[in-house]
């Protein structure tokens, strides 16, 4: 039996994205490492981005194929404009299209998006998930960052400090995660 191209390709790894909501702020942090097979090919990728469709302030982080993620972010921006900035409605519409559209359903990425009040993980399986404990994490080191952030969330630390410490722990454990972070902060209802 022949391997499919998708199965034989070594795959892109190297993403940990973490979002922490605390004290009226949401911090989204992402590492910068991208690997192909066993080689690090970039250590300073920006996987967390600020979007401003129709003047609405949104922060998004992505794991997976960069081209696929950019395609999804463009679609999300269009959905946000059509939904007058209502993030949940835009995410649900994107997830529906992603799951049912012949082109989109082949995209390999996952998103964390926030407008400072809503916080969602959006997947190609049609999921729009609100995380428990005000923490969301995706990517190869996501479970490590999630566990670390959950351990720190009840401390006196602010959201950014929690995110930075949790990402440092993930970078120490996951070989596909580094400590070159992109961090974006957004408050309730915007910057």
Q: Grade residue 10 by pLDDT with cuts at 50, 70 and 90.
A: very low
**Pairwise CA distance, residues 54 & 151, whole Å:** 37
Q: Which of 13-27, 50-64, 154-168 has the highest mean pLDDT?
A: 154-168
pTM confidence score: 0.90
> Can you say whether the dihedral through the CA atoms of 53, 109, 44, 160 is positive or negative?
positive
Q: Grade residue 15 by pLDDT with cuts at 50, 70 and 90.
A: confident
82 touches 90 (CB < 8 A): yes
Q: Where are the domains of the chain?
A: 5-183
Instruction: Compute the C-alpha angle 182/187/191, nearest 5°.
Output: 75
The per-residue pLDDT for range 51-89, each reduced to its tens digit, is: 988 788 999 999 988 889 899 999 999 999 999 999 999
* Structural fold of domain 5-183: 3.60.20
- Alpha-carbon distances of 43 from 131, 159, 181, rounded to whole Å: 28, 24, 10
Question: Which residues does the annotation mark as catalytic?
Answer: 15
């Amino acid at each position: 039996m022949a391997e499919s191209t998708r199965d034989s390709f070594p795959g892109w790894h190297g993403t940990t994205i973490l979002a922490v909501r605390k004290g009226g702020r949401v911090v989204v942090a992402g590492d910068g490492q991208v690997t192909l097979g066993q080689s690090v090919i970039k250590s300073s990728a920006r996987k967390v981005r600020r979007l401003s469709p129709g003047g609405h302030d949104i922060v998004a982080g992505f794991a997976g194929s960069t081209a696929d993620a950019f395609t999804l972010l463009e679609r999300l921006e269009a959905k946000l404009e059509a939904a007058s900035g209502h993030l949940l409605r835009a995410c649900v519409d994107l997830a529906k299209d992603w799951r049912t559209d012949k082109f989109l359903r082949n995209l390999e990425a996952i998103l964390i998006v926030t407008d400072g009040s809503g916080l969602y993980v959006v997947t190609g399986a049609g999921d729009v998930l609100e995380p428990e404990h005000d923490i969301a994490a995706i990517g190869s080191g996501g479970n490590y960052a999630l566990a670390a952030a959950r351990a720190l969330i009840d401390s006196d630390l602010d959201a950014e400090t929690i995110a930075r410490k949790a990402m440092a722990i993930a970078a120490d454990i996951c070989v596909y995660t580094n400590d070159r972070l992109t961090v974006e902060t957004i408050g309730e209802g915007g910057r």
